[in-house]
Amino acid sequence: MQEFKLPDLGEGMQEAEIRRWLVKPGDVVKMDQPMVEVETDKAVVEIPSPVAGRIADILVQEGQVAKLGAALVTFEAPAGSVSTSRSPSNGAKGAVSVATASRAIAPTASTASPSTTAQRRVLAAPAVRKRAFELGIDLEKVPSSQSTGRVTMDDLLAYAERAKAAPAALPTSPATPVVSTNGIAAAPAVQPIEQEPVSVAPVAPSVSPTIQEERKPLMGLRKRIAEHMERSWRTIPHATAFDEVDGSELVALRQALKPAAEQRGVRLTYMPLLIKLLIPLLKEFPVFNASLDEGTREIIYKRVYHIGIATDSPEGLLVTVLRNADQMTLVQLAQQLEHLVAGAQKRTLSLSEVSGSTFTLNNVGSFGGSSGTPIINHPEVAILAVGRLQEKAVVRSGSLVARMMMPLALSFDHRLIDGALAGRFLARFKELVEHPQQLMLDMV
């Protein structure tokens, strides 16, 4: 028998919940055929089969949690494989360890055939393989930044970005992909995860007046959110600075840009504008775009700007990620935000779209809230929450006038950031929001 173990899916994942098996014992699967859906604290990930063969047994059932490296399924040993030492009395075969989907295991004379196909595959996590397939990119052509030769998601995305400048030079896999107008292989349509129909039973009258509560296990995304929030609150000394900004000019700018955006088929919200105003701030105050290595006690200053966006989903709040937001136009930001919101609703986002953020922006107003105190998204060091724009009476030059006011709440890691620096950060953000035309000076 051959065992397949839960692979390293990246982003420090240590366990995953089995969401749905796509195969059953006795099924014959092809290499890279989708085999199981697992849910990490970041996303729902589809893991492909590392070999072609017949499923012998499923070891972890749906709803159960598997640790990193735990055996998930066994395959019947393929013909021609070399077994371990065999007892003359019973002829039992020794177990053969299969390379996981994220790394290959070097073959040995006693455990695997020298021609095992899975062991010649490029080292890459399942999410990287899936994204490469969607882009039509042959992983063998992607240079690795790791000493082990493993291809990371950043390696793949960097390769795809370089291809935009020279699309003709992009080597693709033998399968002919659909090519978009910008020369990059377009991703096939992502099928939303089918949800089991939920039947709502009528509420029966209480049989006994003593039954006044119901218990359900904390599981799925809700469990992941709870664990992440506990870690953030337990390890980061939070402090929060509050302020209020006059958003009247921001409202006027959006109204002026909306018709042009709609002509391009884009719905322009306030978020792309706020992100554009936020980017120069993170460059001016680099510690807000950093993290703390708690092992070495070093501050890691990030030179990329992956903005996390708190996004609502049916199962809880997800932090989706606008990667390289500083390199996007307003239209591109708006388009990507629409994609992330739709993907969060269907839980179809890739791991790179829900991980790796360097600073998080939470638009509490989009959830109907006027304000709130945000919890930092570990391992980041700050998070900014903006509340709902509301018309209020304020004093300007001694006169009472109506202005569109927006509350701000900046939570920060007090180990790296002091209250005075947080105050200057908010003051500068207020200045940009109240005079948003300044973003035209640094428009990408």
Report the catalytic residues: 414
Which residue in 165, 167, 166, 159 sits closest to 183, CA to CA?
167
Cα R_g (the chain), whole angstroms: 26
421 sits in which H/E element? helix 419-434
How many Cα atoms are found within 13 Å in the side-chain-facing hemisphere of 416? 23
DSSP 225-291: HHHHHHHHHHHS-EEEEEEEEE-HHHHHHHHHHHHHHHHTT----HHHHHHHHHHHHHHHSGGGGEE
C-alpha to C-alpha distance for 437 and 353, rounded to whole angstroms: 30
Neighbours of 409 (CB within 10 A): 20
As a dihedral over the C-alpha atoms of residue 54, residue 56, residue 61, residue 62, rounded to 10 degrees, the angle is 10
C-alpha to C-alpha distance for 103 and 84, rounded to whole angstroms: 22
Residue reference for tokens 């001016």: 284
Phi/psi of residue 151, nearest 5 degrees = -90, 120
C-alpha to C-alpha distance for 371 and 297, rounded to whole angstroms: 33
Pairing of strands 399-413, 390-396: antiparallel
3 sits in which H/E element? strand 2-5
Decide: 105 and 119 in contact? Cβ < 8 Å.
Answer: yes
C-alpha to C-alpha distance for 419 and 425, rounded to whole angstroms: 10
